[in-house]
């Protein structure tokens, strides 16, 4: 068998291809982590992902409305404290249309319309009938949105994990069963993560599984990405080589 089939022995062009992909994916994963911190991580109004954040995002905060939760969480800094208080009082008083037209609509137009009136994935809260729905009790994410996000998450991230695992499969120095476990782990935790979204929507006790799923596939991916870079560049630089055919070992 050809002894070149391992990360240490790949040609420079192939190493460059793999390295470019690893760096882009690595930065992408960090950006995804930052996005989670700034969206779900602010659901309870505090920076950092907590169980409450997960519960509020999927099960909802059933002691109040989704709009109140946003005003006290990820959207808190988009308007002044006085403006937020006006909106919250309007919700508490029944969110009637005359008060909306006179007092609330100007705030929404000034502070929220730039995003909510122009980005298709966001509710257009400049319209009374849309914002009225958000003043009802927060029952968490709806089935339509959860279905959309779930299929995007599964298709998109599974595709990334396939190539991460493909590159890592050329590594050496691992027991074949350990390597197989590392390769399958991100897929398993991805399924746990998405399944936990649906379970948490039914029962907040499952929120822990969302955190476990995200942490699990992030850790496994980090191990594979860092190992691949190390074996492609650091080990040869230190004078090490291998005649192992990683795909037949």
**Residue extents of the structural domains in the chain:** 7-41+141-237, 64-134
Q: CA 25, CA 154: separation in Å to the nearest integer?
A: 16
Eight-class DSSP state of 3: T
Q: CA 208, CA 54: separation in Å to the nearest integer?
A: 8
Eight-class DSSP state of 178: H
Q: CA 122, CA 66: separation in Å to the nearest integer?
A: 14
Q: What is the pTM of this model?
A: 0.78
CB atoms near residue 108 (< 10 Å): 20
Q: CA 160, CA 24: separation in Å to the nearest integer?
A: 11
**pLDDT band at 44, cuts 50/70/90?**
low
State phi, psi for 117 to the nearest 5 degrees: -95, -5
Q: CA 40, CA 43: separation in Å to the nearest integer?
A: 5
Q: What's the pLDDT at 212?
A: 97
Average pLDDT estimate for 165-176? 96
172 and 249 Cβ atoms separated by less than 8 Å: yes
CB atoms near residue 162 (< 10 Å): 13
68 and 131 Cβ atoms separated by less than 8 Å: no
Q: CA 166, CA 176: separation in Å to the nearest integer?
A: 14
**Paired strand residues for 65:** 137
Burial class (CB in 10 A: 0-12, 13-18, 19+), 14: middle
pLDDT in tens, 75-130: 888 889 899 899 989 988 889 999 999 999 999 999 999 999 888 878 999 999 99
Q: Regarding predicted confidence, which is higher, 202 or 64?
A: 202
CA distances from 148 to 40, 134, 153 (A): 17, 19, 9
Least confident of 44-53, 163-172, 206-215: 44-53
Please work out, in degrees rounded to the nearest 5, the angle formed at the alpha carbon of residue 90 by the alpha carbons of 84 and 91.
95
């Amino acid at each position: 068998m050809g002894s070149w089939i391992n990360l240490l022995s790949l040609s420079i062009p192939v190493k460059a291809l793999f390295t470019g992909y690893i760096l882009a994916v690595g930065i992408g994963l960090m950006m995804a982590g930052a996005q989670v911190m700034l969206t779900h991580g602010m659901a309870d109004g505090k920076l950092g992902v907590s169980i409450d954040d997960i519960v509020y995002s999927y099960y909802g905060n059933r002691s109040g409305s989704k709009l109140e939760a946003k005003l006290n969480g990820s959207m808190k800094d988009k308007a002044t404290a006085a403006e937020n208080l006006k909106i919250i009082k309007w919700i508490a008083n029944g969110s009637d249309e005359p008060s909306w037209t006179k007092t609330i609509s100007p705030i929404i137009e000034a502070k929220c319309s730039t995003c909510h009136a122009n980005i298709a994935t966001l509710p257009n809260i400049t319209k009374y009938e849309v914002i009225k729905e958000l003043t009802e009790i927060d029952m968490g994410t709806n089935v339509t949105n959860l279905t959309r996000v779930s299929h995007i998450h599964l298709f998109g991230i599974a595709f990334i994990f396939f190539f991460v695992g493909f590159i890592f499969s050329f590594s050496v120095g691992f027991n074949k069963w350990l390597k197989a476990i590392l390769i399958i782990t991100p897929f398993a935790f991805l399924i746990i993560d998405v399944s936990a979204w649906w379970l948490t929507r039914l029962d907040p006790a499952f929120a822990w599984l969302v955190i476990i799923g995200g942490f699990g596939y992030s850790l496994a991916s980090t191990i594979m990405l860092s190992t691949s870079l190390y074996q492609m560049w650091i080990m040869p630089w230190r004078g090490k080589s291998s005649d192992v055919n990683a795909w037949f070992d």
